[in-house]
Amino acid sequence: ELFDEVLAEENELLRRQDAPGVALLQERKQAASKLYQERLRTVLKAGDAGKQLTREQRERTLALAKRLDERAAENAVLLRAVMHSIERVFAAINTAVQKKTHREVHYSKAGLVQSVVPASRASVAFNSTV
């Protein structure tokens, strides 16, 4: 249930576009994921573990697994959307720099005036966390 709660919290932060909140949540997400994987491994090793559960426990476990699958799918969609929006921002910045580069005069290393720097030779560095 811990992993489910962390995913739900991360999904909400992603919907609000709260990048700092998502970043702060990553350690908890990794710890919850590791715990989930360890428990799942333990259950899978004990092949008859499902037989020892009561009907109510099995139903609860199946409901939790279904909810976790749904949250994980939603999380993947939200993360892809964030990544896509970041790529669009970088593309817009890159396009703006390329347009600006064509209109400026530049000096070569030898001190000669170059009227245009080809866009293929221009570069942009992104030095801040998005």
Q: What is the pLDDT of residue 44?
A: 64
Q: What is the pTM (predicted TM-score) of this model? A: 0.60
Q: Whole-angstrom Cα distance, residue 35 to residue 50?
A: 19
Q: What is the pLDDT along the chain (130 residues), one digit of tens a residue?
A: 788 899 999 999 999 989 889 889 889 988 888 888 787 777 766 666 667 778 887 788 778 888 888 888 898 999 899 889 888 988 888 888 777 765 556 667 777 766 555 555 656 666 655 4
Q: Quick one: tokens of 35?
A: 């715990």
CA distances for 75 relative to 12, 16, 23, 51, angstroms: 9, 13, 14, 32
Q: Whole-angstrom Cα distance, residue 38 to residue 57?
A: 19
Q: What is the pLDDT of residue 53?
A: 72
Letter for the amino acid at 114? Answer: Q
DSSP state, residue 114: E
Q: What is the pLDDT of residue 13?
A: 92
Q: What is the pLDDT of residue 11?
A: 92
Q: What is the pLDDT of residue 130?
A: 45
DSSP state, residue 121: G
